[in-house]
Structure 1
Amino acid sequence: MKKIIQARFEELVKRGEELIRQLPRDDNGGIWWCITGDDIPKNQAWLESASNLIRIASGQDSHFNTECEKISYDKTKKGVPSDVVQKVFALLLSAKEEWEHGLLREIEYVIAAATFDDFLDHAEFYHKGNRKIEASVLASAVLEDTLKKIARKNSFDPRGLSLEPLIDDLVKRGVLKPVKAKRIKGFAGVRNHALHAEWDQIDIRDVGE
């Protein structure tokens, strides 16, 4: 996965350099403010790919992703603003450098995020099919793994802790807010029933709306 992300950074940077060179010019040789016509698709496609890579490599709530979303919000019905392409390219270069120095997300969490998405997609599928056993088992696996990874990311070992003490510990350390912890404990109750195959104690609505 790390090699794939690195290769994708290099590919998109190379493509970005080409697009920057091809930006439209005004009569004085300066960069024209907007990309129009047949050049829109390739620039828009690159912007989407660059934004997606930044989100994957840095995380949904990262500074890089926030800045990228803010820059990309500058839309026009007439085409793609030239400065948006320039700014996203600069952000991509910066993110690539941070990635190469190990200052973005650890690869473990990049892989985990993709795995969790798959698990949750399957859980949602079973939930829609009113299959509470499969849905609760998959959702519970995601919950427990996520909390343990959050603990390790905040430099403490979750081994030996059951779910509720782990949640309490995360609150004490300021990682979780009490209100959020209370909600998670509600999900933990479903997880405990699923773990002990107490299916009569679980309603499909307990797994999700």
Structure 2
Amino acid sequence: MINDVFARRFQELTAAFDKVPFERSRASSDDLYVKRGDWMRWATSAQSLIRAAIGEDSPHYRNFVAAVENCNGWDHEVLTLRGVFLSAKDDFDGGYVFNVDLTVSGEVFGDFVALARQSLAEGHKDVAAVLACAALEDCLKRYANVCGLNTQDKTMQEIVNALKSGGHVGGAQKTLLDTMPKIRNSALHADWAKIAEPEVASVIGFVESFLLTKFSP
């Protein structure tokens, strides 16, 4: 489930903060600071996770963004970032927050799949293929982003390969994913002769299963 991915990433970034190097200031031996590249690297990953797991409208995200904007690397500023992050983690782990955008996305994908299934049942194979493949590609990209993978300018095959190599999909889903890019390319390039009804049905079934296992809270 997608919440399991979030929870694991919260744990990873909590541990990663302990490795952020604090150094003594040359101006004052009592002051500690962190080089911009070091704290910004951690903060960027933390901000991305809070946004994905809880949403941009949450106070956790807004406070974290404000803390980043005010951070110059001094220890109290970097520790403020950590404090806001841990607040988000505690509320997420306790089940007190959820990402409305992610829930809505799952519902939208579900609507696409329902339309695709209806179109296929009515004999409109090509329409069903386009709807199902569009939902497939979008939900794979969204899930890859949550897993911390870069999807910008990536083909669907590259995204599939990254998900597989990172261990983010397994079992039957991993096997079925191998066939999806070919079907997607034929559908979105209107190469209808290369797509049969059983293949469209397989895409619809895969997206339904993927939504249940990855986009359920």
- Rg comparison, structure with higher value: 1
TM-score in terms of structure 2 length:
0.47
TM-score in terms of structure 1 length:
0.49
User: Relative contact order, CA 8 A, sep 6+: which one is greater?
Assistant: 2
